[in-house]
Structure 1
């Protein structure tokens, strides 16, 4: 009689292999795994740790300070995604700047910011371009359309980052990477395959309960077999080549640069900035922003959380001084932040 195949849940719950640390690179994975109750299925020897996959969380304090400089000193209208508004800068957040009279508008896409600039020709408008490979193409598209439409009052302040160098910097911090499906939908799987050859194991995961359970089950089975591996567990969205069209757009308009990551420091070649031929839309050049070195609150351990060195609940200010209503660090602000996930879903679990 043929043996019945185990479900992904049964594989996870029945795992009896060696201890394993799996890094949720993507903040959305962290939230969904908590929300869906998947952590409760894991045996004791399986540990999930957070990584640097929340773009708002890894954005350096100095970037917030630059945006505040534009808003208060240069009277530029700032268009931004909502999560960034309450991220602390050195002295205040964008919400604090708004209380001082700055024009801060929440938009849902870079194209919305470009449209606002078009509709308000007397205002100088800057979009805060924060994100990984997933959102960078849309920022480029907004600039391209602004040039086509002859807009001279639109620019972007870039904090765009790419994941490959971060994976290299995090080697050894986890046994398995749970790769973000939406990033790989753009980049493809070549990098992950190359990392496996270098000894770094990982699986690409989707975002539904079934997709996450499948990815974790595959990861545990392959880990127990021994040897580095890579598996694409999100084939309905992620292909080998990713999105050549999006890759081409970014390559034409942007170039790599060194970039500071909260917690990881400056990672060479991990940032993206507009090429010289698009410099009229580069807010740093357009407004001659002076060098600004931001300073994070020393009580905040976001940097350690983003490297998987500690859990949010290990931070002394977590849930006490630092809450979603009064955040000290970016990881408590963002909808993809590990601290906000632990606060919303994980306090009871961590205290048992």
Structure 2
């Protein structure tokens, strides 16, 4: 269907006059590209795009930041992390605050960079903050496998890896259809999306260009008109039904499912990943005897509601005032994929 619709996508979208529909783009990259490309500006008022929980930094719970702070300041570990996480507020401070207190925080671009840092700094205990969905988890697993093979005893992961299918189920009543992230399903394949359609959850996998996103939106509109749940792969040049067998294999070798806390969504059963027993020496929570931590979000922040599609970033009382990219109150303003940062950067308000 995607190829048939491609040439007429803009016409299908602009001419839609049916009942109000809500489409959730769960990927932060989709959120930013939709804004950047001006797609929201051409949507009729009865088509609403909702920004969902597809930014890994945004959905990472406050308690995870608190654990990293303990590791750096109380356990004297070197924290290796992606840059976005440095300014995410914890209950008391961010990792930027840790740096100000003399803690060691290193910015890396991949888990393998953290592994290489540990190899070169054997005198330091190195912990990589492993956040992300199916796209980035295989690299964390590879870093652990390399560390075990090299006999490294100064490398560990603090895991907050998450899987999307359970989140789709948790959010099933928040939208009429999902825009599924192409890079995630390049790893997982489309079988799980097909299974979700059988459970009554509709959606399409799409890429990140203007044509791909417009085509996906037109497919959603067309299929919703027909009625019934559906799934369409609008990104076949990258996404297959099988996905990446190599990526799936290394994750299943190193990690296993566990319950996971999502900002705004609470604990979702079997939506997280932790290291298996055979690799427990690389689990920072076990290695450093971390206590159970319950984070406290700033009560002024609406990130949890934004991630559930209950409100727009611009509805938050501190948006663009007390909360800006330079002085963020919540994770959704910090992350380069966050909905709040997209609204702030591109001036989003109601539907564009």
Report the Cα offset of residue 6 of structure 1. Answer: 4.9
Gaps of 5+ in 2: none
Runs (4+) of structure 1 exceeding 6 A deviation are: none
1:28-79 Cα offsets, whole Å, 9 max, x none, are 1000000000111111100000110000000000000000000001110000
Give the structure 2 partner of residue 322 of structure 1. 323
Report the Cα offset of residue 17 of structure 1. Answer: 2.0
Give the structure 1 partner of residue 11 of structure 2. 10
Change (3 A) 1:5 1:182: closer
Please give the alpha-carbon distance, in whole angstroms, between the structure 2 residues aligned to 1:229 and 1:350. Answer: 28
Give the structure 1 partner of residue 258 of structure 2. 257
CA RMSD, Structure 1 to Structure 2 (Å): 1.3
Please give the alpha-carbon distance, in whole angstroms, between the structure 2 residues aligned to 1:322 and 1:57. Answer: 15
Give the structure 2 partner of residue 145 of structure 1. 146
Residues 253, 278 of structure 1: 8 Å contact kept: yes
Change (3 A) 1:256 1:216: same
Give the structure 2 partner of residue 219 of structure 1. 220
Residues 201, 230 of structure 2: 8 Å contact kept: yes
Aligned to 2:272, what secondary structure does the other structure show? strand
Q: TM-score, normalised by structure 2?
A: 0.97
Residues 6, 211 of structure 2: 8 Å contact kept: no
Give the structure 2 partner of residue 107 of structure 1. 108
Q: Mapping of 1:108-123 within 5 angstroms?
A: 108-123=109-124
Residues 158, 283 of structure 2: 8 Å contact kept: yes
Aligned to 2:26, what secondary structure does the other structure show? strand
1:79-129 Cα offsets, whole Å, 9 max, x none, are 000000000000000001100001001000000000000011111100000
Give the structure 2 partner of residue 195 of structure 1. 196
Residues 18, 224 of structure 1: 8 Å contact kept: no
Change (3 A) 1:137 1:145: same
Gaps of 5+ in 1: none
Please give the alpha-carbon distance, in whole angstroms, between the structure 2 residues aligned to 1:118 and 1:195. Answer: 43
Please give the alpha-carbon distance, in whole angstroms, between the structure 1 residues aligned to 2:164 and 2:7. Answer: 34
Please give the alpha-carbon distance, in whole angstroms, between the structure 1 residues aligned to 2:346 and 2:194. Answer: 33
Report the Cα offset of residue 350 of structure 1. Answer: 3.7
Q: TM-score, normalised by structure 1?
A: 0.97
Q: Mapping of 1:332-347 within 5 angstroms?
A: 332-347=333-348
Give the structure 2 partner of residue 266 of structure 1. 267
Residues 45, 351 of structure 2: 8 Å contact kept: no
Give the structure 1 partner of residue 277 of structure 2. 276
Give the structure 2 partner of residue 56 of structure 1. 57
Please give the alpha-carbon distance, in whole angstroms, between the structure 2 residues aligned to 1:198 and 1:260. Answer: 24
1:156-179 Cα offsets, whole Å, 9 max, x none, are 100000111111111111001000
Q: Mapping of 1:5-154 within 5 angstroms?
A: 6-154=7-155
Aligned to 1:324, what secondary structure does the other structure show? coil
1:124-153 Cα offsets, whole Å, 9 max, x none, are 100000000110000000010111112111
Give the structure 1 partner of residue 240 of structure 2. 239
After superposing the two structures, state which structure 1 stretch, 215-224 or 334-343, moved more. 215-224
Give the structure 2 partner of residue 248 of structure 1. 249
Please give the alpha-carbon distance, in whole angstroms, between the structure 2 residues aligned to 1:336 and 1:205. Answer: 17
Report the Cα offset of residue 16 of structure 1. Answer: 1.9
Please give the alpha-carbon distance, in whole angstroms, between the structure 1 residues aligned to 2:200 and 2:42. Answer: 28
Size of the alignment, in residue pairs?
348
Report the Cα offset of residue 7 of structure 1. Answer: 2.1
Residues 171, 200 of structure 1: 8 Å contact kept: yes
Aligned to 2:243, what secondary structure does the other structure show? coil
Give the structure 1 partner of residue 175 of structure 2. 174
After superposing the two structures, state which structure 1 stretch, 9-18 or 136-145, moved more. 9-18
Change (3 A) 1:351 1:225: closer
Please give the alpha-carbon distance, in whole angstroms, between the structure 1 residues aligned to 2:16 and 2:171. Answer: 25
Change (3 A) 1:5 1:139: closer
Please give the alpha-carbon distance, in whole angstroms, between the structure 1 residues aligned to 2:46 and 2:347. Answer: 18
